[in-house]
């Protein structure tokens, strides 16, 4: 853990406005930003802990818990709602047995709501890791879940 944090700090501490860069690097390496990292980041960047914590909590993308093996980011915005996105959202939650913002008990899946993936002519859309999928029906969702390889 400390290695990833130190590396992120070392890489960015001399850039202007480095905090988001550091947090992104840590989450990229570890999947989340451990709360224990906050004092270290604060000291290294000469910020208060409250400032670091304030930034972490402001942005929906950052998390303080390790995610499941695969993170599914499902679009809940209007253009996807127009093509049965709500039914897909219900199906996904039911199939995974979790709500939005939760990780399954077996640690395999994290489900998150996002608002628009820029794929609004091909909805409903979702990201699995960094892979985008369009026109996802409930059946297609099950195929993706059963077939896809774990992705970060």
- Does 116 bind ligand FES (CB under 6 A)? Our answer is yes
Residue 43 interacts with, from ligand FES, other proteins, none (CB under 5-8 Å by kind): none
Q: Which of 111, 119, 133, 141 binds ligand FES (CB under 6 A)?
A: 119
| Cα-Cα-Cα-Cα dihedral sign, residues 51, 52, 54, 60 | positive
- Does 61 bind other proteins (CB under 8 A)? Our answer is yes
DSSP string over 68-118: -SEEEEEE-SHHHHTTTHHHHHHHHHHHHT--TTEE-TTS-EEEEEES--S
Question: What value, to the nearest 5°, has the Cα angle with vertex 129 and ends 2 and 91?
Answer: 130
**Taking CB under 8 A as the rule, which mask of x and - marks residues 12-31 in contact with other proteins?**
----xxxxxx-xx-------
Q: Which of 125, 127, 128, 136 binds ligand FES (CB under 6 A)?
A: 125
Of residues 78 through 107, those in contact with other proteins by CB under 8 A are: 78-83
CB of 60 to other proteins, least distance (A): 4
**Taking CB under 6 A as the rule, which mask of x and - marks residues 57-86 in contact with ligand FES?**
------------------x-xxxx------
Closer residue to ligand FES, CB minimum distance, 68 or 123:
123
* Helix, strand or coil, per DSSP, at residue 51: helix
**100: exposed, middle or buried (Cβ count in 10 Å: 0-12, 13-18, 19+):** middle
Task: For residue 65, give the H/E element and its range.
Answer: none
Which residues contact ligand FES (rule: CB under 6 A)? 75, 77-80, 116-120, 123, 125
């Amino acid at each position: 853990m400390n290695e990833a944090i130190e590396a992120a700090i070392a890489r960015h501490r001399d850039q202007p406005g480095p905090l988001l860069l550091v947090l992104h690097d840590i989450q990229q390496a570890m999947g989340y930003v451990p709360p224990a990292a906050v004092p270290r980041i604060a000291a290294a960047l000469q910020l208060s802990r409250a400032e670091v914590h304030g930034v972490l909590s402001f942005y929906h993308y950052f998390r303080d818990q390790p995610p499941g093996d695969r993170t599914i980011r499902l679009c809940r915005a209007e253009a996807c709602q127009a093509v049965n996105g709500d039914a897909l959202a219900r199906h996904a939650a039911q199939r995974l047995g979790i709500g939005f913002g939760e990780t399954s008990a077996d640690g395999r899946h994290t489900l998150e709501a996002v608002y628009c993936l820029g794929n609004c002519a091909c909805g409903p859309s979702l990201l699995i890791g960094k892979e985008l999928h369009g026109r996802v029906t409930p059946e297609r969702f099950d195929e993706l879940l059963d077939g896809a390889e774990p992705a970060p």
